[in-house]
Structure 1
Amino acid sequence: MGVRKINRIDAYKAAELFTLKQFPNCHGALLAGSVVRGEATETSDLDIVIFDKYLKSAYRESVIEFGWNIEVFVHNLTSYKDFFTSDCERARPSLPKMVSEGIVLKDSGIMEHIKQEAIDLLENGPQEWSAETIRIKRYFITDALDDFIGCTDRAEEIFIANTLAELVSEFVLRTNRHWIGASKWVIRSLRNYDEKFAECFVNAFDTFYKTGDKNKVIALVDDILQPFGGRLFQGFSIGK
């Protein structure tokens, strides 16, 4: 059964009407997300970021208006900075990305500065991992890889592979000072880093999921760890 098509008005028009209706006195607003990037599907929603300097604290809300599912992120002129900081610390710059790529719906003279803040953060990339962090990550990847190699239960293998894919994608991106992502943003982040590597990454795990052959995944992980000293078990300790 296919996805049911929904008749709805233009995304930008819907965002304008929503902002006018729900936040008529806000000081800034923008439309972001897949519709702005030209990647919208039948199930895409609207991501709208609101700036209101009189708001006491930030909040997020999901509503349905004008035929669209709408995710609205509401901030005052301080709270967005805190979210920028926390997003960058975890290396998943959700709000900076939305703000940097967003189309302005309303502006009282603040949006250019806020958008430039977001752009600067994204261009700087995440903080570089320390040698100790890399060492710890190597150990946990090695641990997951050993479990993956030794496992003979198909159900368990699948979930170990999922964990390994997450750990390895994070390792590759962070050691190359690139932003990471979750869910669909994992592969998007890998493609943004290196299209060819992303293709090899997908092929290795896809081969395992389809056939049970682990060799491509094992080789991929070993290639990634090799420049940092390879697998790590002997002598590893935390808090000694």
Structure 2
Amino acid sequence: MGNIKKLEPVIAAQKFINKYFPNCDGALLAGSVVRGEATETSDLDIVIFDQTFSACYRESLIDFDWRVEVFVHNLNSYEVFFESDRKRARPSLPRMISEGIILKDSGVIGPIKSEAEKLLSNGPEKWSVETINTKRYFITDTLDDFIGSNDRAEEIFIANTLAELASEFVLRTNNRWIGASKWIVRSLKSYDVQFAAQFVEAFDTFYRNGSKHKLIKLMDDILLPYGGRLFNGFSLGKK
């Protein structure tokens, strides 16, 4: 990772904890370094549990030649984030805790890890038919804008919106967790590697040469099992 000889992630994380949180009840190292996906720009994601803290917080630091993102919780504050992550279907904290390597534990980590793993296993809330139809409508509306646009700059950003809407639709209708940025692709691969490849290819083809055919077909294939495109007769808030 660059010209600087860094400490190994676990060693650096342990030193970080000893320096900044020597009296904490538990600590985990999570993120890309744990999954074996680290790059030159990867940081250390460290989760701290300390019952003496009255409130949780997040902080970014640089020490031991590493960028460090530290997420500090007491023994209850994490529950609010678990519920929030479950509702938004992006299990950031549960995933970190579930995959995290234990660096320190006074006996508090085991039950919290079990909660995280149970939440991840259960999946997000199931979408209602009404929600599915609403999402169908917004994909249709965005797709129509994409098909009708002759402005390359606008097309690029409409396609970006389609990627977010369509990935969310596929994952949520299949009771899967969603993601943002790099986690869109990771979440799609976790769901179906072959579909993820088709998804990426459709967008890559458009971004490379402006051809819309594969992307339009992908959207229609995604919507087809739920009734296809939706415009006529759709309403929100009508009584």
- TM-score tier (shorter): over 0.9
Distance 1:8 1:238 in 2: 55
Whether the aligned pair in 2 keeps the contact of 1:207 and 1:213 (CA below 8 Å) is yes
1:195 corresponds, among 187, 193, 196, to: 193
Counterparts of residues 1-240 of structure 1 (less than 5 Å): 4-240=2-238
Whether the aligned pair in 2 keeps the contact of 1:5 and 1:42 (CA below 8 Å) is no
5+ residue gaps in structure 1? none
Aligned residues: 238
Give a deviation string over 1:205-236, Cα, whole Å, max 9, x none. 00000011100011000011011111000011
User: Quick check: 4-13 or 163-172, which moved more?
Assistant: 4-13
1:108 Cα deviation (Å)? Answer: 0.5
Scaled by the length of structure 1, what TM-score is found? 0.98
Distance 1:124 1:6 in 2: 42
1:5 Cα deviation (Å)? Answer: 3.5
* Fraction of identical pairs, as percent: 68
For 2:212, the aligned partner's letter is: K
Scaled by the length of structure 2, what TM-score is found? 0.98
1:54 Cα deviation (Å)? Answer: 1.4
Distance 1:169 1:210 in 2: 20
5+ residue gaps in structure 2? none
Whether the aligned pair in 2 keeps the contact of 1:144 and 1:160 (CA below 8 Å) is yes
1:7 Cα deviation (Å)? Answer: 2.2
Task: Name the SS of the counterpart of 2:52 in structure 1.
Answer: coil
For 1:108, the aligned partner's letter is: S
RMSD (CA atoms): 0.8
Distance 2:150 2:107 in 1: 61
